[in-house]
Amino acid sequence: MSSEQTTVPVIIDTDTAQDDCITIIAGMMDPVADVRAITMVAGNVGFDQQVRNAHLTLNALGRLGEVPIHLGCRRPVLVPWVSAENVHGDGSGGLRMDEEGLTTEAEHGVDALLRLTAEEPGEISIVAIGPLTNLAVAAIKDPTFPARVKQLVIMGGSNNGRGNITPAAEFNFYVDPHAARIVFEAGFDITLVPWAPLTLQDAVFKRDQLAEIEALGTPLSEFFGRVCSSTLAFDESVGIPGTTHPDSLSMAVLLHPDLVLRSSRQNVAIECDSELTRGYAAISWGVHGLEPNAEVIEAVDGERFYTYLRDILATPTQPNRPFRVGDQS
């Protein structure tokens, strides 16, 4: 970081498993970021396992207890919760540690989002890498909330591309489509990091890159290999040639916007009423005269993004507690 570069205060709103863990690592290790809080939302795996995964991640960093973890909404607004355990296992690759004395905050995640942004209006950005339930509930509870958030980077949707949980929908928007609709209509300054084609094109780490990360031999590279193991197996079984990193790309794009090669302001609207296309993100492409409500990222420098994460994973850390490898239940 140059001496003139200011830090970016950020809250990570997460359903912590696999790449959500890597996002926390990027946020905590990148000197540009100042991570103020982690807020947990129902998504990838069981809620309590997600909290465990966040603690495991902070442990790998040697920074247990340094960032408050606030528990947010334990289910979507209207529809029952759907998990991605078939993709991520428990999201930690079966890692365990002694959990004695680990704590989370008494304050609810939604209230933490409201309080932190009220204490510093217009200063704090949010990287939202799970279903948007916490953000939607916060915006309902306090309609002045969206204007207090500096930048909201959302991982979700596909840009006229394939879904990953249904043919039409990406997981985060599918799980809580009503929340996603509320958020896109709430007036946030949104940057959108979609699944397809962006993630599949620029944020897949291939076998040779994974081997390079493994060879680093640091606690963070070992942790990376572990938490990404289930996802790698799943991805390869569906024809994706490596591990997918849309969540950590969202953090990287916030902290280093010069990674972005192409983006455009578009209208993003979320389908809530159709069973077939539930959670579909209808993203305009500039010809329909629709009012833009998001900056949609279309291409990033994938090689630089990989190098960015690899260099972070190469940095030695001292985990607070020894890890054990258990089963994934």
- What whole-number distance in Å separates Cα of residue 159 and Cα of residue 152? 18
133 in Cβ contact with 176 (< 8 Å): yes
Residue 199 per-residue DSSP state: I
Q: Which is nearer to ligand BDR, 111 or 176 (CB)?
A: 176
15 or 271: CB nearest Ca ion:
15
In the complex, the smallest distance separating the C-beta of residue 295 from Ca ion, rounded to whole angstroms, is: 20
Q: In whole angstroms, give the CA distance from residue 88 to residue 277.
A: 23
Q: Could you say which residues in the range 155-174 bind ligand BDR, by CB under 6 A?
A: 155, 164, 170-172
The torsion angle over the Cα atoms of residues 97, 131, 63 and 227, rounded to 10 degrees, is 50
Q: Pick the closest to residue 288 from 263, 266, 313 (CA basis).
A: 266
Question: Cβ distance 23 to 247 under 8 Å?
Answer: yes
Stretch that binds Ca ion, among 9-17, 34-42, 77-85, 191-199 (CB under 5 A): 9-17
> Can residue 84 be called a binding residue for ligand BDR (CB under 6 A)?
yes
Site string for ligand BDR, 192-221 (x = CB under 6 A): ---x--------------------------
Site size toward ligand BDR, by CB under 6 A:
13
CA distance 146 to 149: 5
Provide the minimum distance between the beta carbon of 41 and Ca ion in the complex, in angstroms, as a whole number.
Answer: 9
Name the amino acid, one letter, at 230: S
- Over the window 112 to 151, marking each residue x when it contacts Ca ion by CB under 5 A and - when it does not, the resulting string is -----------------xx---------------------
Q: Which does 77 bind (CB under 5 to 8 A by kind): ligand BDR, Ca ion, none?
A: none
Nearer Cβ to ligand BDR, position 82 or 282? 82
By CB neighbour count within 10 A (0-12 exposed, 13-18 middle, 19+ buried), where does 169 fall? buried
Write down the least CB distance from residue 244 to ligand BDR, Å.
7
30 is a contact residue toward Ca ion (CB under 5 A) = no
Q: Which of ligand BDR, Ca ion, none is residue 164 near (CB under 5 to 8 Å by kind)?
A: ligand BDR
Q: Which does 306 bind (CB under 5 to 8 A by kind): Ca ion, ligand BDR, none?
A: none
Distance CA(35)–CA(37), nearest Å, equals 6
CA–CA separation, 70 vs 75, rounded Å?
15
CA–CA dist 58, 246 (Å, integer):
20
Footprint (CB under 5 A) of Ca ion, residues 237-276: 247
Residues between 31 and 70 that touch ligand BDR (CB under 6 A):
44
Choosing from 58, 64, 67, 129, the residue that interacts with ligand BDR (CB under 6 A) is 129
**What is the DSSP pairing of strand 243-244 with strand 204-205?**
antiparallel
Whether the Cβ atoms of residue 59 and residue 97 lie closer than 8 Å to each other: yes
Nearest Cα to Cα of residue 39 among 101, 102, 122, 129 = 129
Binding of ligand BDR by 111 (CB under 6 A) = no
| Chosen from Ca ion, ligand BDR, none, partner binding at 223 (C-beta under 5 to 8 Å by type) | none
User: Looking at this protein, which amino acid is placed at residue 313?
Assistant: L
Q: Rounded CA gap, 328 and 277, in Å?
A: 32
Nearer to Ca ion, 128 or 216 (CB): 128
Whole-angstrom Cα distance, residue 88 to residue 275? Answer: 25
Nearer to ligand BDR, 57 or 172 (CB): 172
Residue 20 binds to Ca ion (criterion: CB under 5 A): yes
Task: Give the binding site for ligand BDR (CB under 6 A).
Answer: 19-20, 44, 84, 129, 155, 164, 170-172, 195, 246-247
Residues at the contact surface with Ca ion, assessed by CB under 5 A: 15, 20, 129-130, 247
